[in-house]
Every structure is written in C-alpha cells, then in structure tokens.
Structure 1
C-alpha cells in the first residue's frame, strides 16, 4: 500500500490572516487547496505562530514581528486541513512569551495533533512527534538554528535549538539524542523538520548541504526544510529527498516582486507501508487574500521553472504531470 504524505512550508495564521479568519468560514484559509489536502493520507506543517489569545509581546530582545492566532478558529482550521504533525522549532513560538507557548502545546495536544521542536524544557523539545498514518508509523524531529534567545534549556521553555554544523559536538549530541528518541518509537518513516537559515535566500549554504546529508547518513528518511520564505532546490541523497526549503504556504507577508515569496508548492510524498519513499510530487500554489490557492497557470509555470533551476546543481530532474512536477525516488 502506498501512503501520500503532504509537507508544507510556513503556516503563519496570525496578524491579518487572524483578522480575516474572524469574519469568514473556518475553511477559507485553505482556499482552493482544501480538496487536495483532504486527499492526502497525512500532513506535516511548520506552524509559524502561536495558538493563543494570551501573553504579551516578547520585548527582552528586539523582535520586529509577533505572530499569534486565535485558537478558536485556528485549531479547527488545522483539524479541517487534516494536519497530523506541527513542527514548532522556529523563531515565533515565544513571540508572546511562555503563556502563549504553553497554550499552543495544550491546544495541539487536545486536538490530537502531534508536535515536536518546542516544550517546557529542552528534554520535551527534543521529543519526536510520533503518529500513525494508516499502517505507516512516522516520527518527526524538529530543530532550528534561529533565535538563540528562544532556546529551551533544562529549566526553561523554548525551542530545540542547534548550530547547523556537523562538526559541532553539541549539535551532534542534541540531534543524535532527538533521533534516538524518534527511533525508540519504531517508525517506518523518520522525518527531520528543520527551520534553518535566513529569509529570502534561494540556495542553501554548504553547511546546510553537509548537515542534510549527515542526517540521511544518521538514518533520516526525509528532510523537511523551511525558514527562507522562498522555496529552494531539492536534492536526492542515497535515495532520500532533501527539501532544503519548502517556502511559505499561508501568511500575510509583503511580496517580493523578484523572489515571489507568495509562490510555492504543496509537497506530496508517496511512501510504501515499509517506509520507502517512492515519489515526490510538487503541486504549485500561491498565496492570495491571506489564503492558499492552486496556482494560476502563469504562476505555476514560474514556480516549476525556478524549481528546476534551483535543483539542477544537485543533479535533480523532474517529470511533468499536469501542473505538478514529479520526482521519482525509486523505492
């Protein structure tokens, strides 16, 4: 049996998205993509905001942006989309300090949405999100190199933060700890979800490439990268896909006319019951009116061309099926 798992870039439900959703149907944020999301067997996202009406804006260090969504609509919206896993190791989970982070953890737990990458302590932040998609057991570990002041420790809540450096002993220790915990759940598929690097960068640096390949060597089956707000190229290493950056999926951000951070993809991974990835499909999307939509033909063509260009340096080539790009992984 083949399972189809969806992966998205940043899902930011705060600010104007939150404002718009208070006056429209709970499904509206998923636009014309909702049917495609419902057709998936599972869905993994990077949740780029907190789910709370509490807390105060983080002012201990300079933070220009603060993202918070009302859980009254946001949690049902995540449920309606079929979200199974939220990666939380990112630079916004403490935007409204500890109270809002704790609310986020509680709301996801109450909804039965698995989470990883943030918690009351570093111990909790390193725990995997473990869930079953039919007869496929998956585990997701979530780490970030963003925002040192948000890092959890033995006594304080926050993120599972690392330096993206395969030679850093603390990084190797923390990541191997997280991977070991994930393997204890005996998953068929092990995913590393990485919120790494600066904004608006179209190519991963050498250190990220080395780190992604090291993770595959350590037993990870899929790399789910995000943070840049624009999609980057895809590499296949030892049969495993490395999505260096999935870009943005839902937000209210200003659009760069050249980089087009409003354009991206829903990444659909086909996986056999024994955990072997066989194919990755890239469905073009675009953000409009604080919602995600199937990309119009011109936008879809632009995204396909950019993805081919950005993946070429990795020797990655795609087939075409309708509007989608298709990458065969064997398996």
Structure 2
C-alpha cells in the first residue's frame, strides 16, 4: 500500500513537472518567435527604413565608384565627405566591403526576421555624367554597387523622392534597369505615368501586399520630374488636397483586389524639425479612411518623427535617415542625425491592423551602422515619447529595442 502511494505521488509530481516544463518551453518559444520572426500565416512582419543615401562619400568608400566630381555650392569632390567623416571618428580603411556599410544591422536582421525589407532609396544608380541642372545636391552610386542592396537582402525600394533623377532621365533609366536586373522590386518611377503609378506586389501565404510610392512637391521634388504619358519620371503629387487624394484612390482601386494589404510610401515635408503639418495628418487619415491604406510609410525628415496608430493602422510620418554620408557635418546637432531606427511592424494580414511595433536604434559611425548604446537609446525613447504624446502614442525601452504603445 505504501509503495502504491509513493508510486502515485511520483506520477503526480512527474506530471506536474511535465506540465510546468512544457508551459515554460512554450512561453520561451513564443517570446523567441515574437523577437525573431513572423509568428503565423496571418501575421506580416515588415522591415522598414527611411532614407538610404549611398552616394557621394559612401560610393567613394566602396569597391566601385563613379567619378567624384560634384556640382554643389561648396563641395566639388565626393571624396571630401569621406574625409569629413574620418576627421570626426577616425580613419576608414577603403575600399570597404558591402557588409561593412550595414555593420550591426546584419545581425539585427538575423535576430528579427522580416517577411520583406522595404527602404526609401535616395540615390540614383548610374554612371551617367550629366546632373539635373540647377539642383543643389546630386546623389549617385556605381551600378556595380547594387551588391550593397543585395547583401542586405532588400526586397523593395521606394523611388518617388527628390534624388531619383539627380542624374537626369538617362540616370533614372539606368537605375530602373539595374534594380530589375538585380531582382529588387521598386515603385514610384517609370518610363511613363502609368508605370510610375503602378505598385510593387509582394506576396505572403496567399496575401498580396501592394506597395505604392508617391512623392510630394513639398519634399523638394521638382515638378519637372513628374512622369506623364510622354515622359519618364516620378509618381508626383503636387499637394495634399482633394485632387491628389482622388487620384490616389482611383489608382489604388485600379490594382487592388479583395483581401490585399496596401502600403503607401510617401516622400513629403522638410528635412529638419519635429512638427508634423496638419495637412499631413489630415491626408494620412483620409488615405486610411477613404483609400483603404493599411500602412503609411512616410519619409524625407533626416531624423525620426512621432508616430500614430489611427483606426488600428500605423502611420510613420517620418522614418528618418537610415544610412547617409553626413557624418561630421555640423548645423543640426540637436536632432542627433547620427542616430537612426530599424522599424519592425507586424500587421494582421486579414484586417491590416497593427499588432505590434518594435524599433532597433542604430548609430552611423565611420560610414557603418552600429547598435546604439543605452544613453542614445534612452534619448530616442524620450524624443519619440514626447512627440508621440501629441499623437496618442508612447515608446518604452525593452533592452536594446523600443516598443511602440498606443
């Protein structure tokens, strides 16, 4: 009898241990899935990054470079930007590898697997030698440096911005052909207006993700860059009024099917300052309410802006720069332009609702991305919290990442 009691007690204890072990393992597995990859077929995890500016100094640091001549007011040689960066943080042994530019971001991507990686590419990919006349800044990188984007596994580039035609329409044509040859999707430009307005189509488990790209005149895009039925160019909107809204709604309806998710990438606004114009907010809300947009991916600001979740849909008003060659250039130090963010939003594929959003802070140093330290991360959390408060969002720190809450 005593043996039976002992045996039964052992079985009960063993069963309890099994249940506790499995529960703990399940919790650990769930946390791991949350941090390292998409959870299920009805969850879409994206990686988003703001302006990727890999021309000028960065192009000169890579294995292949275009001629360094520039047509700016003060800097006439792209190698000067490399020298300024070295003066700020030390020598850069050139040529650097393609992995070098992405630095710690490569490890972050491994730790935070995304279904698709989307960026705003603010650099023409061309060897064409004539810049757009009377434009102050001209970005381009050598076509062979397309390996830089392939090394990062970039799936999509938004091209409706104020640097895509820096090297004129032949430069745009070469950019388009280079991306197509590399198998990297893009939208926002084309050989005519219809092509420029067409979305890129990504697919996950039967769900189509339509990615449209628009460039607004208030971001510095010349109106002469607009694509039309007779010429190549950018998918351009002059303003943010009813006419522009109706045009976008009609364009989305042309391509959208039931069950699609719609991502709208938009280049708008100025480069510096945290204030979000009221017409940006109104337009963003109208895009969600009337055009059926599920995520608004805004950029142009050189630093991150406050974010909003409106009717369960994410609005990034300004993603900030991801990588650039501004290192060591003074004048906007209060915005900490050396800091950038890697955005990882998760959407419900059935409703488009935002499920979660984490961000990994990075520092641009010696033309390479490094994980931000705790002080830098706290500064970003405070700024995004302060600006998000006006939009009913906040940001909390969780280890080396920032979590958006709404």
Q: Does 2:240 correspond to 1:165?
A: yes
Q: Distance in 1 between matches of 2:278 and 2:46?
A: 28
Q: Does 2:367 correspond to 1:290?
A: yes
Alignment-derived partner of residue 132 in structure 1: 203
Q: Which of 187, 199, 203 is residue 275 of structure 2 equivalent to? A: 203
Q: Distance in 2 between matches of 1:149 and 1:37?
A: 38
Q: State the shift of 1:24 in Å.
A: 1.4
Alignment map for 1:95-244 (pairs within 5 Å): 95-133=166-204, 135-146=206-217, 147=221, 148-167=223-242, 169=243, 171-184=244-257, 188-217=260-289, 218-244=291-317
Superposed CA RMSD in Å reads 1.7
- CA distances 1:115-159 after superposition (whole Å, capped 9, x unpaired): 111111111110001112455421111101132221112111111
Q: Which of 261, 277, 286 is residue 354 of structure 2 equivalent to? A: 277
Q: Distance in 1 between matches of 2:349 and 2:151?
A: 25
Secondary structure of the corresponding residue to residue 258 of structure 1:
helix
Alignment-derived partner of residue 3 in structure 1: 44
- Residues matched between the structures, number: 323
- What runs of 5+ residues in structure 1 fail to find an aligned partner? none
Q: Does 2:331 correspond to 1:259?
A: no
Alignment-derived partner of residue 74 in structure 2: none
Secondary structure of the corresponding residue to residue 120 of structure 2:
strand
Alignment-derived partner of residue 12 in structure 1: 53
Q: Which moved more, 1:312-321 or 1:119-128?
A: 312-321
Q: Which of 87, 93, 118 is residue 44 of structure 1 equivalent to? A: 118
Contact 1:128 1:181 in 2 (8 A): no
Contact 1:16 1:252 in 2 (8 A): yes
Q: Distance in 1 between matches of 2:59 and 2:394?
A: 38
Secondary structure of the corresponding residue to residue 281 of structure 1:
strand
Greater helix proportion = 2
Q: Which moved more, 1:87-96 or 1:142-151?
A: 142-151
Q: State the shift of 1:179 in Å.
A: 1.5
Alignment-derived partner of residue 34 in structure 1: 106
Distance of aligned partners of 1:187 and 1:106 in 2 relative to their CA distance in 1, 3 Å threshold = farther
Greater strand proportion = 1
Contact 1:139 1:187 in 2 (8 A): no
Q: Distance in 1 between matches of 2:393 and 2:380?
A: 15
Q: State the shift of 1:264 in Å.
A: 2.3
Distance of aligned partners of 1:322 and 1:136 in 2 relative to their CA distance in 1, 3 Å threshold = farther
Contact 1:222 1:241 in 2 (8 A): yes
Distance of aligned partners of 1:67 and 1:173 in 2 relative to their CA distance in 1, 3 Å threshold = same
Distance of aligned partners of 1:14 and 1:47 in 2 relative to their CA distance in 1, 3 Å threshold = same
Q: Which has the larger radius of gyration?
A: 2
- CA distances 1:81-108 after superposition (whole Å, capped 9, x unpaired): 1211110000011100111111111111
Q: Distance in 1 between matches of 2:386 and 2:206?
A: 37
Contact 1:33 1:293 in 2 (8 A): yes
Contact 1:164 1:208 in 2 (8 A): no
Q: State the shift of 1:299 in Å.
A: 1.6
Contact 1:182 1:190 in 2 (8 A): no
- What runs of 5+ residues in structure 2 fail to find an aligned partner? 1-39, 64-94
Q: State the shift of 1:50 in Å.
A: 0.8
Alignment-derived partner of residue 66 in structure 2: none
Q: State the shift of 1:328 in Å.
A: 4.9
